Amino acid sequence: MKENNKWEIISHSLEPSQLMVDETLFHTANGYLGVRGNFEEGYVDQYDTIRGAYINGFYDISEVKHGEKLYGFTESKQKIINITDVQGIQLFIAGDRFSLFEGETLAYKRTLDMQAGVVKRHIEWKSPKGHILEIDILRMASFVKPELFLIDYTIKSINYEGEIVLVSTQIGEVSNYFNPNDPRVAAEAEKHLTVTQIRREADIDLVYSETNASNLKVTSAVKHVVSTRCHIESTSDKSSLTSKIKFNIKLGATERLIKYCIFTDSIRYSDCNQSALCSMYEVTEMPIQKLYESQQAYLDSFWKVADVVIEGDETLQQGIHFSVFQLLQSVGKDKYSNIAAKGLSGEGYEGHYFWDTEIYMLPFFVLTDQKIAEGLLSYRYEKLDEARKNARIMGHQKGALYPWRTISGSECSAYFPSGSAQYHINADIAYMFVQHYLVTKNVDFVINKSAEVLFETARLWMDTGHYIEDTFRIDAVTGPDEYTCLVNNNYYTNVMAKYNLKWAVKFYEVVKKYGDITHLSQSIGLTEEEVSTWEEAYQKMYLVYDEKLDINPQDDTFFSKARWDFSNTPKENYPLLLHYHPLHIYRYQVCKQADTVLAHFLLEDEQKLSTIQNSFEYYEKITTHDSSLSTCIFSIMAARLGDTHKAYDYFMQTTRLDLDNTHHNTKDGLHTANMGGTYMGMVYGFAGLRIKETGIYFNPIIPEQWDNYEFKICYQNRMIKVHMSKERCIFELSQGEALIIDVWGNKYQLIDTIIIDLDKRKESENA
């Protein structure tokens, strides 16, 4: 279905089962605004659709209903909401309504152009009366002017001369998608947005709306610009505006409608109504080509740094470009937003932000765009007070506990065993603040933001854990593997908490040396004595280990459980979470996703290589990969252990997951963390990149299917280009001062270019 073109995603499908998937794959977004790839003219009535548009961080509040509510249970949650539908454009020719499901479709092609940042549809259509038109529709969400979404609608007459009627709509009466049988999407139908006013100012149509519970406001503005003399008749009701546009087209002529759509919200704008008008005036005063050129220039600059190139595997290259582009489309670029689990492509997981951001998506931005990376980390800093409140709700007297899933900062998880109990989110966030520091050496950011986050998350571990037999232990938590809940001493949680505590001590010394530790300590009530308790805890952190097997068990009791009977589990019963009661799953050795294996990737120096190898082999046999966060980690670790074939196979599953709809739920939105996992699979997997306190390390390998690969990373005010082929590995310092890099355990001074001949390296090793 998806043609192999490394810079384009192409679909010719009009199959009902594929249409909702394509709504996701061909959505248009810029980090602020996202519009699903619905047909302007719609489908036929019996076809399902998720018609939606979303603003990052714009939400309403829903009640969380509990059959048996206990103290501290989440009472309400935020959820991203569907906003005004501006997509509608109906076309009528000689009384026939254009539809790809009526008349005759002579040609159809939909294209996502990842270099130009646009989605296009090309259609050749014969009406029931025999009139033939060529229709080209282009959509763009501007990266330069984030409030702007536009539809560029072009009609060419092949054998018709006469009147064309376009009916353009702006509908404020919208609702969110729901599915009561899938816990990954909303379970109930709810109306969240109410139209408060509709008006027309000059030739701009405006819809003002307000959320029902959060009292946030959103304004949509639409203006139509037509290439020829036309008559526009506008009508409205209480919740929508309709513009009927009539013009004549000559035989062989081409005419064009540009539908400019602006969205503004009250989170970011003090007066979103006036801001929408100002934005509309600004974009419509410049030539349309200027908007396209600015989009192209933005993406040229982006790809210059962010591109990951593979020669010899175009299918995979397409998937990598798709993943990287979707990260850019998904990421919030202001302090009010983050990256939702589905980006801005759909309503799965209700638009919530998870640990996915820090562990799977932030690495890409830390290494390629540190301004965006700092914005994502700043979002967590801005929500620190909410995390402190959450900690108190959970019974902790000190520290901060970041919510498992959130938009505005409070916990949105209704099922605490696999939600709020995932305390590791604290350590995940702390880990990426540390990684940011190691990559940037930005001491000011540590002083102003990172240190306080690490101090408060460190405090949480001290209030959660306790000492037994002179070891520090953490009970009743859930690790990344959601098929094993509420356990003692989850290896991942403990080792990440250790890192959190260790770096809280180190950041204390950084602030003490370069900043004002007295002021910060006084503001949060921190003492030297408390910091010393963090040091003792990380040094005595208990990391569960089975000496006989030379493996890190996932937790204290994991190995004592029965193994899941995979041989007698029908294929149609995956994912397990949709077919088995949680308690049934919890009683078995079965993993939804990488857990201990993930810990071995993030903190490989905590264990010897044999333990990592044995753990990988053990968990590989019992992991279902029901989570999209899993295969990328197994690919990275297979590469680390030298198994190129496995690394490639897992990587292929990762890279094509949404393009091939392998989890069968791409209709609900992209698996955005998996997109970050694709990038990590290349850079941390095949290139073997590790960023440590002691420096930068590479351990590159190359699959036999590839001729070569290359990418660039930003590291401590430097740009490093890595090129790996079957013959040689080349490191090029494109920008910045010389530095020492470690490649395959050997130190090299990178001044300009280092070329390592692989044959000579093998000869040296054999000697």
Pairing type for strands 254-265 and 217-226 reads antiparallel
Query: Which tokens go with 53?
Result: 């548009």
Q: Is 465 helix (H, G, I), strand (E, B) or coil?
A: strand
Look up tokens 């050997």; give the residue: 746
Query: Which tokens go with 599?
Result: 């810990």
Q: SS3 string of 718-758?
A: CEEEEEEECCEEEEEEEECCCEEEEECCEEEEECCEEEEEH
For residue 143, give every residue at least 6 positions away whose Cβ sits within 8 Å of its Cβ, in sequence order, or none: 30, 31, 117, 295, 298, 299, 328
C-beta of residue 746 within 8 angstroms of C-beta of residue 715 = no
Phi-psi region of 131 (alpha: psi -120 to 50; beta: other; left: phi over 0): beta
Look up tokens 């990178």; give the residue: 750
Alpha-carbon radius of gyration of the chain:
27
Look up tokens 């569960």; give the residue: 544
Look up tokens 């950084």; give the residue: 510
Helices (H), 4-122: 16-25
Look up tokens 């310092």; give the residue: 733
Query: Which tokens go with 480?
Result: 């990344």
C-beta of residue 412 within 8 angstroms of C-beta of residue 390 = no
Report the run of H or E that residue 45 belongs to, with start and end.
none
CA 639 – CA 396 distance, rounded (Å):
40
C-beta of residue 118 within 8 angstroms of C-beta of residue 37 = no
For residue 231, give every residue at least 6 positions away whose Cβ sits within 8 Å of its Cβ, in sequence order, or none: 245, 246, 247
Active site residues: 482
Q: Provide φ and ψ at 658, rounded to 5°.
A: -85, -35
How many other β-carbons are positioned within 10 Å of the β-carbon of residue 365?
27
